[in-house]
Structure 1
Amino acid sequence: GVRLTVEIPGGTRVLEAERLFLTVGKRPETRGLGLAAAGITLGPGGFPTVSDRMETSVPGIFAVGDLARPPMIAHKAYREGILAAEAVAGRPTRWSHQAMPMVIYTEPELASVGLTREQAEASGLQVREVRFPYAALGRAHANRVTEGFVKLVAEEETGRLLGCHAAGYASGEFIGEVALALEMGATVRDLAETIHPHPTFSELLQEVAFLWLGEPLHVSQSMAHVRRSG
């Protein structure tokens, strides 16, 4: 086995596991492509710089997917391929990078879309972050997967959704709903008042939304783990 000592607020913690997986990152494989000879400008990390239409610094040459820019994930590559094809066809294109869902397929799954509280505050927004536990969800008990939580980040004054981050079973299956909400400029109230089928893990989103609004359904407000700007 492997023993790892990590520093946490207030001290250290020892983690034990069978294996330790080091994620050292990735970089684009551009050797032999002749990008410099073509006059294509490369940015940090060796990625070709691209426009919102996925066009490189050389008109008519496009780059998508892992070659274009992080994150290196399949669903981003699909969307960029469509974006480039639409640009070549002369169609108007639009894409919000903020609504890019990310999932790490570990056990439990980790899922994220939009801004974290720290990112939102760094951009000058006043926000509120609320956390809802899997342990308060009926479906989680039915499946015996009660470890985990969902965090919702929204603008304090307007309730505009800014981000959602989850650690728990099947979190990657419902994070796409928040991506849609972000694309449409939805508020926490919109998410809370959307009817979710019962019993499903998607109800976590409705539960955390009501908790953010101060109208909890199946937990007390004291369990909200509220964090505000300032």
Structure 2
Amino acid sequence: MKEISCKLLVIGAGPGGYVCAIRAGQLGIDTVVVEAGRLGGTCLNVGCIPSKAVIHAAEEFDKVVHMAGGESPLGISLAKPAIDLGKTVAWKDRIVGRLNNGVAGLFKKAGVKSIQGWAKFRDGKTVEVETETGTQLIHAETIVIATGSASVDLPPLPFGGNVITSTQALALDRVPEKLAVVGGGYIGLELGMAFARFGSAVTVVEALDRVLPLYDAELTRPVLKRLDALGVSVMTGAKAKGMSKKGDTLVVENGNGGEVRLPADKVLVTVGRKPLTEGWGIEELALDMDGRFIRIDETCRTSMRGIYAVGDVTGEPMLAHRAMAQGEMVAEIVAGHRRTWDKRCIPAICFTDPEVVSAGLSPEEARATGVEIKTGQFPFQANGRAMTMLGEDGFVRVVARADNHLVLGIQAVGQGVSELSAAFGLAIEMGARLEDIAGTIHAHPTQGEAFLEAAMKALGHALHI
């Protein structure tokens, strides 16, 4: 059995793990990464990046379909379009491959050693890795657990056959004629809307009383309007009970206790994700847990000295950029720097049509803290740039303290608003007041002007409404 020693061992090369490793390498730390799959983890390989590629392809195809139907207000007309999903998926795979190679190149540049295999703890300082060439033993002074998460399955709908995960949905070689989506959260609606644009007849089944429950109703209203325009059927207060014997029909219990049978070529189950805490020897450690997640402090330390944890395995929000921020911080701590992780603002984005962004506190969350607030909201219907992109349905909203005008939260819904998330996060992180935003010159014509106008509206003097 081959044995090696290192200062830092990172288990998992997803966003949290690979960023931690790269930064540690940059700081001169002897670092080893163990990853069972491809570098980049779920986000790069089967999550964030490939899903956005497919979503973009669906958006482009939808535009062409409307042009072919003579519905384009731009005056553009085309012959009847068609979609070759196999080619779309191949294009998506090429993007993923480039990014995989990019991570490998960054490891090499930072002097990080990468081992492919399944890691399992022997104790708090020793990990055994099963590789293609045999077992390898790694002794490390410090270990970072970055094992990520996996799709949650439903007992009545085990994965297999026509019941698929989001990973499998992103690898389909043809568009299903009828698609049932179980789960009306952001993953379900992002992919459901994409396939609706490709031409699938989509039905969303959600157990709660509304879809996108993590966002307030005002933010999601434009998304619901678009779902209706795309012909997507939405069943709320409904529970998936299982598949028919033939496997081509989803049986659903509706809100009235009745049974509905939905013919479906594919059933996409997107009811959440669970931390990967099994299979890598957690039982050999004495880690404090927070429910299903590994408990950490404000520096991502676990209850065991010399062991850190970052990313999805540590709890909500399960977002790649949260994991990256944690991983970068841990690397600097291991290098001897003084760091803590400030989580006052982790922007959350839903890449539906239109997109939804939330940074900081919503109005309801802000009121729950006991402070008096004021809000300002500016519609994209009054924004020139949004009009020129046919993206008038949506708005930007700013939430601030009433006494000192400190910005507590910023939300937006609209075409392309994901790109405003950096400005929103920066404003909150830097402790901006409404006057700071209102006093910053925003370029014209841009959608970012709606951010300026929302702050001015909260101050009582919006110019364009």
- TM-score normalised by L of structure 1: 0.86
Cα distance between partner residues in 1 of 2:418 and 2:293: 28
Taking every aligned residue pair, what percent have the same amino acid on both sides?
36
Cα distance between partner residues in 1 of 2:393 and 2:293: 38
1:40 corresponding residue in structure 2: 287
Could you give the per-residue CA deviations for residues 66-124 of structure 1, whole angstroms, max 9, x where no partner exists?
11221111111111110111111121113321211111111100001001111111111
Cα distance between partner residues in 2 of 1:22 and 1:167: 25
Cα distance between partner residues in 2 of 1:40 and 1:4: 37
CA-CA distance at 1:18 after TM superposition: 3.5
**Alignment gaps of 5+ in structure 1:** 220-230
Q: Is the 8 A contact 1:98 1:113 kept in 2?
A: no
Could you give the per-residue CA deviations for residues 177-207 of structure 1, whole angstroms, max 9, x where no partner exists?
1211111111011011111111111111101
2:309 corresponding residue in structure 1: 63
Cα distance between partner residues in 2 of 1:115 and 1:197: 26
Of 326, 338, 341, which aligns to 1:80? 326
1:199 corresponding residue in structure 2: 445
The AA in structure 2 aligned to 1:113 is A
**Alignment gaps of 5+ in structure 2:** 1-200, 211-216, 218-223, 235-267
Task: Compare the two structures and name the one with the higher helix fraction.
Answer: 2
1:212 maps to 2:454: no
Q: Is the 8 A contact 2:326 2:341 kept in 1?
A: no
Cα distance between partner residues in 2 of 1:68 and 1:174: 27
Of 107, 110, 113, which aligns to 2:359? 113
- TM-score normalised by L of structure 2: 0.44
1:52 maps to 2:298: yes
Taking the TM superposition and a 5 Å limit, the aligned residue runs for 1:1-230 are: 1=201, 2=203, 16=228, 17-18=231-232, 23-44=270-291, 46-219=292-465
Cα distance between partner residues in 2 of 1:41 and 1:179: 31
Q: Which moved more, 1:87-96 or 1:191-200?
A: 87-96
Q: Is the 8 A contact 1:161 1:186 kept in 2?
A: yes
Number of equivalent positions:
214
Q: Is the 8 A contact 2:311 2:318 kept in 1?
A: yes
Q: Which moved more, 1:89-98 or 1:75-84?
A: 89-98
Could you give the per-residue CA deviations for residues 18-37 of structure 1, whole angstroms, max 9, x where no partner exists?
46676422110111122232
Cα distance between partner residues in 1 of 2:421 and 2:452: 12
Task: Compare the two structures and name the one with the higher strand fraction.
Answer: 2
2:95 corresponding residue in structure 1: none
Cα distance between partner residues in 1 of 2:274 and 2:314: 10
Cα distance between partner residues in 2 of 1:35 and 1:125: 42
Q: Rg larger in 1 or in 2?
A: 2
